Structure 1
Amino acid sequence: MKRRAFLVGTVLAGATLLGSLLPAPGLTGAAAAASPAKVTFIQEWPVADGFWIPWVLGKDKGFYAEEGIDLDIVAPPTVADTMKFLGTGRANVAFTTVMDVIFAKEQGAPVEAIGRYGKENNWGIISQQGKPYTVAELKGKTIGIYNDAWSKAQLALMLKSAGLTLNDVNMVTAADDTVPLLLQKRVDAITGITNAEGTEMTTMGKQTPEFLAAIKHGVPNTPILMFAGNQAWLKANPQLAKAFMRATEKSIRYAVEHPDEGVAAFGKAYSKAYDATFIKQQWADTVPLLAPVDGRSLQMDLAVWKELLTAIQAQGIVKSPLPAEQYFSNQYLP
């Protein structure tokens, strides 16, 4: 399986994106009516995963074409390239993480979150089936974790809820995947999300893992994944951006209601990188985070953003965050 860290340390690699902003493609007005407008949609990961099922299926069903959009779903060369593509205008919209948006904004990149993917933070502590832990019981335990600031910050907040600190646990860093550490019994528990590491425990480990939800122990309930747009493109193409979000909401709803059809469309599009068992289970694990799909499903909440920014500032991840309103906008939602 792949690394599911939520903060890419080299997200911008020191690039000054404002200085290298390229003209963003996209048609408006009469030109858009005459022919579909190409919208370049950069993904969060170099290899296709089940999270993409809604727009893969939506493109196949013609939902984007109905909105006058020729959707180009692009995988980045590396995990660090998603926000580079978006910030420089080589992509119009992105499927990315909340922390990547925050760090891109800190670097001055012209990006903005325009919708959430999922309704809650599904990160937490995962352990072997039949071996659940309370937060207090993690004291002295060995935990597999990724080497990113937000994972460590969330673990620190969880431990704090039981009067513990990171010094009270033994952390083993996984460069690529925490799940093998747990299956090989090299650690007592791992950090991860229900529809990635949790999915892998089910498919590779052949078990139903125990899950200790972070949001029940002091961690902000901010969805990890979201949609973002290049601000110059959004400003120049507001109606096209709204059309993209309408088609995306419709695609998510349809994929949730027709899971087998979604998995089949994904398999057709990405047959060379297709693990049928994993993708089917991953989508089954993702659907509860999205359903039911309604008019508020993609809408972001100011209070939740403020809570997240307060938490990461307290943990020293971002020293001087911007006002919460500068990170996101709901104006492009249906």
Structure 2
Amino acid sequence: MKRRTFLAGTVLAGATLLSTLLPAVGGIATASAASLTKVTFIQEWPVADGFWIPWILGKDKGFYAQEGIDLEIVAPPTVADTMKFLGTGRANVAFTTVMDIIFAKEQGAPVEAIGRYGKENNWGVISEQGKRYTVAELKGKSVGIYNDAWTKAQLALMLKSAGLTLNDVKMVTAADDTVPLLLQKRVDVITGITNAEGTEMTTTGKQQPEFLPAIAHGVPNTPIFMFAGNQQWLKANPQLAKAFMRATEKSIAYAVAHPDEGVQAFATAYSKAYDPIYIKQQWSDTIPLLSPVDSKSLQLDAAIWQSLLTAIKAEGIVKAPLPADQYFSNQYLP
């Protein structure tokens, strides 16, 4: 499974635009199509993946229609286009990464986070089954990485916790997927997240990978994925934005409680981009990051945002970050 980097700007060669309007055909009665308001929801990745299961299933069950929303789920042509669509108003809301939001704000884009997807940063160092390392033991080892600033910053912070620097390891850059580097034994460890690279190690590598969590070694515990909105649209449509977040929270809760139904909804919607073994495992690996689903599941925290901003400023990723509360708002949450 070819994975994303954490920052915008990486272009997926040959990617095509996938735009789908999923039918609301669940067992719940919904309002007529004429009475619904279209909300365009741009995704973080040009190819459908298991992270999208809640809103795919939620639309299918009629949760968005119940809130008066005709949800249009759109995949961008490249990973660099998600925030372009959101910032220019071609999309109303987005599923994106925390670093994409920060970089978009640095460029003056009218975007802000309106909810989190997951409760922690599940990035770290992954190694083959049975080959567990401490941070100190990474000295002299080869590390498969993605060529983006935040990946290197997180790795640098981890190494710093053991008195090491990036110069103490041999970094091997993957074009779009670190997992083959590890499976082909071209590196000792790779960087990645539990429900992407970790999932691929399980499905492709047929093993249970070892995971060294970054948050246990000096990296801020900021969830990687976020829901974001165009600020002009949010200001003009506050009730609609709240309705979107209510439906999304309900969709996440339902998808977590009904994993097989979620995987089947994904299969129906994206049969041509569907790897059943991977998607089922990816959703299984994602559920723990979302659970338990409660009133605070989507809530954003200023202290956690500030810890991230402090870290990226120290690493020179953003020279003059804004105050934490200028990047997000909780006012649209249920």
Cα distance between partner residues in 2 of 1:205 and 1:10? 26
CA distance in 2, matches of 1:325, 1:33: 37
Return the letter of the residue paired with 2:157.
Answer: L
Q: Distance in 2 between matches of 1:4 and 1:213?
A: 19
The aligned residue for residue 27 of structure 1 is none
- TM alignment of 1:67-82, pairs within 5 A: 67-82=67-82
Deviation at 1:3, TM superposition (A): 2.3
Residue by residue over 1:287-334, the C-alpha shift from the partner in whole angstroms, topping out at 9 and shown as x without a partner, is 000000000000000000000000000000000000101000000000
- Tell me what 2:139 maps to: 139
Q: Which runs of structure 2 are paired with 1:40-79 in the superposition (5 Å)?
A: 40-79=40-79
- 1:113 lines up with 2:116 in the alignment: no
3-state DSSP class of the match of 1:297? Answer: coil
1:24 corresponding residue in structure 2: none
Q: Percent identity?
A: 86
In the other structure, the counterpart of 1:5 is: 5
**Aligned match of 1:262:** 262
Contact 1:142 1:188 (C-alpha < 8 Å) held by counterparts: yes
Structure 1 residues 264 and 312 mapped into 2: Cα distance closer, same or farther (>3 Å)?
same
* Cα displacement (A) at 1:34: 7.0
Shift in alpha-carbon separation, 1:33–1:258, aligned structure 2, 3 A: closer
Q: Is the Cα contact below 8 Å between 1:4 and 1:196 reproduced in 2?
A: no
- What does the per-residue CA deviation read over 1:148-195, in whole Å, with 9 as the maximum and x for residues that have no partner? 000000000000000000000000000110000000000000000000
SS of match in other structure, 1:72: strand
Q: Secondary structure of the equivalent of 1:39?
A: strand
The alignment status of 1:321 with 2:321, answered yes or no, reads yes
RMSD across aligned positions (CA): 1.2
Listed as ranges, the gaps of 5+ residues in structure 1 are: 12-31
| TM-score after normalising by structure 2 | 0.93
Partner of 2:16: none
Contact 1:101 1:111 in 2 (8 A): yes
The CA deviation string for residues 239-296 of structure 1, in whole angstroms up to 9 with x for no partner, is: 0000000000000000000000000000000001000000000000000000000000
SS class of match (2:39): strand
The alignment partner of 1:55 has SS state of: helix
User: Bigger shift: 165-174 or 32-41?
Assistant: 32-41
Cα contact 1:127–1:182 (8 A) shared by 2: yes
Q: Which residue of 2 aligns with 1:301?
A: 301
Q: Counterparts of 1:164 and 1:33 in 2: how far apart (Å)?
A: 59
Match of 2:196 in 1: 196
What letter matches 2:69 in structure 1? I
Equivalent in the alignment of 1:167: 167
Work out whether residues 114 and 227 of structure 2, in 8 Å CA contact, stay in contact via their aligned partners in 1.
yes
1-structure distance, mates of 2:260, 2:231: 36
Q: Which structure 1 residue ranges, 4+ long, deviate > 6 Å from structure 2? A: none
2:9–2:79 CA contact under 8 A, matched in 1: no
Change (3 A) 1:34 1:269: closer
Aligned residue type for 2:104 = A
Residues 1:235 and 2:235 aligned together? yes
Question: Any idea what SS the aligned residue of 2:173 has?
Answer: strand
Task: Provide the rounded CA distance (Å) in 1 between the counterparts of 2:311 and 2:176.
Answer: 26
Deviations 1:98-122 (A, max 9, x none): 0000000000000000000000000
Shift of 1:33: 11
Q: Match of 2:18?
A: none
> TM-score, with normalisation over the residues of structure 1?
0.93
Deviation at 1:8, TM superposition (A): 2.0
Paired AA for residue 54 in structure 2: P
What is the distance in 2 between the residues matched to 1:238 and 1:227?
15
Comparing 32-41 with 170-179, greater Cα deviation is found at: 32-41
Three-state SS of the structure 2 residue aligned to 1:208 is coil
> Matched residue of 2:145: which SS?
strand
Quote the residue 1:36 is aligned against.
Answer: 36
3-state SS of paired residue (1:132): coil
Q: C-alpha separation between the residues in 1 aligned to 2:189 and 2:33?
A: 54
Amino acid in the other structure paired with 2:92: N
Contact map agreement 1:33 1:68 (CA 8 A) in 2:
no
**2:140–2:169 CA contact under 8 A, matched in 1:** yes
5+ unaligned residues in a row in structure 2: which ranges? 12-31
